[in-house]
Amino acid sequence: MKHKVGLIGCGGIANQKHLPALKNASDRVEIVAFCDLIPERAEKAAREYGAPGALVCTDYRALLARPEIEIVYVLTPNVSHCELSVAALEAGKHVLCEKPMAASTADARKMLDAYHKSGKLLTIGYQNRFRPDSLALKKLCEEGELGEIYYANAHALRRRGVPTWGVFTDKEKQGGGPLIDIATHSLDLTLWFMDNYEPATVTGSAFYKLGRTLRPGSQGNGMGPWDPDKFEVEDAAFGFVTMKDGSLITIDSSWILNSTEERCASSYLFGTKAGAELTGVGGANNEKLYLNTVMANKQVKIDVDTAAGGVDFFPGRKMDAKDVECAVWLDAVEGKRELVVKPEQAFVVTKILDAIYQSAETGRQVVFD
Helices 81-90 and 105-118: crossing angle, nearest 10°? 10
Is 331 domain-assigned? no
Residues 93 and 182 in one domain: no
Beta strands in the chain (DSSP E): 3-8, 29-35, 50-57, 71-74, 94-98, 122-125, 149-157, 199-207, 236-243, 248-254, 263-271, 275-278, 289-295, 298-304, 310-311, 314-315, 366-367
Is 330 domain-assigned? no
Residues 300 and 179 in one domain: yes
Q: How many domains does the chain have?
A: 2
Residues 81 and 145 in one domain: no
Is 149 domain-assigned? yes
Residues 187 and 296 in one domain: yes
**Phi, psi dihedral angles at 339 (to 5 degrees):** -60, 140
In a 13 Å sphere around the CA of 314, the CA atoms on its Cβ side amount to: 15
Q: How many whole angstroms separate alpha carbon 330 and alpha carbon 18?
A: 13
Domain boundary among 104, 122, 140: 122
CA nearest to 355, candidates 339, 338, 368, 336: 368
Question: Residue 183 belongs to what domain range?
Answer: 129-321+349-367
Q: What was the pLDDT predicted at 261?
A: 84
Give the DSSP per-residue string, 128-183. Answer: GGGSHHHHHHHHHHHTTTT-SEEEEEEEEE-SB----STTTT-HHHHSSSHHHHTH
Is 264 domain-assigned? yes
Q: What was the pLDDT predicted at 309?
A: 58
Domain boundary among 60, 88, 122: 122
Contact 133, 160 (CB under 8 A): no
Q: What was the pLDDT predicted at 311?
A: 64
Residues 185 and 317 in one domain: yes
Contact 247, 194 (CB under 8 A): yes
Burial 230-268 (b: 16+ CB within 10 A, else e): ebbbbbbbbbbbbbeeebebebbbbbbbeeeebbbbbbb
- Residues with Cβ within 8 Å of residue 144, at least 6 apart in sequence: 273
Residues 113 and 200 in one domain: no
3 three-class SS: strand
Q: What was the pLDDT predicted at 295?
A: 95
Domain boundary among 122, 137, 156: 122
355 three-class SS: helix
Residues 90 and 196 in one domain: no
Is 284 domain-assigned? yes
Is 142 domain-assigned? yes
Residues 55 and 152 in one domain: no
Residues 164 and 79 in one domain: no
The predicted model scores a pTM of: 0.96
Expressed in angstroms, the distance from the first to the final Cα of the chain is: 47
Per-residue pLDDT of the chain (369 residues; tens, 9 = 90+): 899 999 999 999 999 999 999 999 999 999 999 999 999 999 999 999 999 999 999 999 999 999 999 999 999 999 999 999 999 999 999 999 999 999 999 999 999 999 999 999 999 999 999 999 999 999 999 999 999 999 999 999 999 999 999 999 999 999 999 999 999 999 999 999 999 999 999 999 999 999 999 999 999 999 999 999 999 999 999 999 999 999 999 999 999 999 988 899 999 999 999 999 999 997 778 999 999 999 999 999 999 988 765 667 777 667 899 999 999 999 999 999 999 999 999 999 999 999 999 999 999 999 998
Is 333 domain-assigned? no
Residues 117 and 263 in one domain: no
Q: Can you give the CATH number for the domain in which 62 is found? A: 3.40.50.720
